[in-house]
Structure 1
């Protein structure tokens, strides 16, 4: 294991300005290029998801909890289901306008801020990539051990399909994994999803439909999609980071004496 030294390897007197990644006991946080429109789309699908993809956890969790609270108080999901089925009058009747109007500005802020932040982080990544500074690639703490290595993106997707959060545990995104699993349990419980599945297996389709709580059920598709996408993308990017760190280490320690071959000999 290399000792991490916060100085530039080329010029030891120069302090490192921007790190490309940080490995901690709770996960690996890194900068990499992202599509601002994709991040903004995830914020539109569920406020907070775009920021979580950017590793802006505090802002993402705040927006996520705000979405659940205000959405439930305004009955927005129920109104969406009624509007999708053509029951516009019922959609208007179920909405609580006191909460709906409060929902709009925060929803727009989540989309705008995730887009703006993505553009800024992309610039930071280009600067950090150019500096190519050293960062810690291994950490051993009292609670966890974390290190860079290569893992299979398909495995992360499969585990996320079993239960959102397991894919994040597979790649050691511990905080996001716990957060994702906790809310998935809440969504499944309050939507009566497993009870509806039970009635469905018994052949009682009408009862299965009746017990479902649409307000909570509509949170689940976005939650599943985010868990799969986040685990896949971060597995791919962690693999790239591992290769980049190994390449830098090998060049600095095993490629000091380069052999020069005259080009003319091959003509």
Structure 2
């Protein structure tokens, strides 16, 4: 085990490495995280490692969206059938859907602004963090990985990119919901029908309420895997640089600026 553990000897830490994954603070664009909450409530909070809040908002979105028939109404509106879109909506569920949807966007923006401030303070404090975690079921450690490979695995199957970057909780969550969306939307069944040329059957078998949730999940899985791999690589290089300086660089070492040549 690493001798430098997050044992509350510092006021703020930049990161925490556990067997379940690496949680870290880094600068984020509040508009980007707010946009992901607008695309699908819960995603913005998951980007911020606010897992409990993100899981609750995600489950809320799925349940209430299905009950209110929001996705079906969106499809009708895309086709210009406004009256059918109005008729299919269940206002009993829709009126409780809107406030929570707006809260998810607002809270993501607010939290991102706050965590950016905390990151700046933690970066200035620059306290050592644990870099290796070993347990009975898993191990995790800081190292460099390929962001492109993380995005590729997420493209093939949402959640695999998170497994590649050792974000176990998020990976499990995304994989379970991916299987759920694939199953209830019948999208894989429709794809197999397309391969044999059965176009009308492929269209008729699809369930639009579930189908419209898949693009958001795919996009988030790819984005989350790529961004977290990039930030993990930055954290690894910063920690490695600090370790080498503390261990091998003499305390009196100074880099002198040379004279400029005319």
Mapping of residues 161-172 of structure 1, within 5 Å: 161-172=155-166
Partner of 2:175: 181
Partner of 2:204: 210
Partner of 1:134: 128
Q: Give yes or no for the alignment of 1:198 onto 2:192.
A: yes
Q: Give yes or no for the alignment of 1:124 onto 2:156.
A: no
Structure 2 unaligned runs (5+)?
Answer: none
Mapping of residues 55-94 of structure 1, within 5 Å: 55-94=49-88
Mapping of residues 1-267 of structure 1, within 5 Å: 2-4=2-4, 15-259=9-253
Inter-partner Cα distance in structure 2 for 1:263 and 1:104: 60
In structure 2, the CA distance between the partners of 1:261 and 1:197, relative to structure 1 (3 Å rule), is: closer
**1:32-79 CA-partner distances (Å, limit 9, x unpaired):** 000000000000000000000000000000000000000000010000
The secondary structure found in structure 2 opposite 1:142 is coil
Alignment RMSD (CA, Å): 1.7
Inter-partner Cα distance in structure 1 for 2:6 and 2:17: 14
The secondary structure found in structure 2 opposite 1:23 is strand
Measure how far apart 1:256 and its partner are. 2.2
The secondary structure found in structure 2 opposite 1:196 is helix
Q: TM-score, normalised by structure 2?
A: 0.96
Structure 1 unaligned runs (5+)?
Answer: 9-14
Inter-partner Cα distance in structure 1 for 2:258 and 2:199: 79
Inter-partner Cα distance in structure 2 for 1:72 and 1:7: 44
Q: TM-score, normalised by structure 1?
A: 0.94
Inter-partner Cα distance in structure 2 for 1:266 and 1:200: 68
The secondary structure found in structure 2 opposite 1:71 is helix
The secondary structure found in structure 1 opposite 2:140 is strand
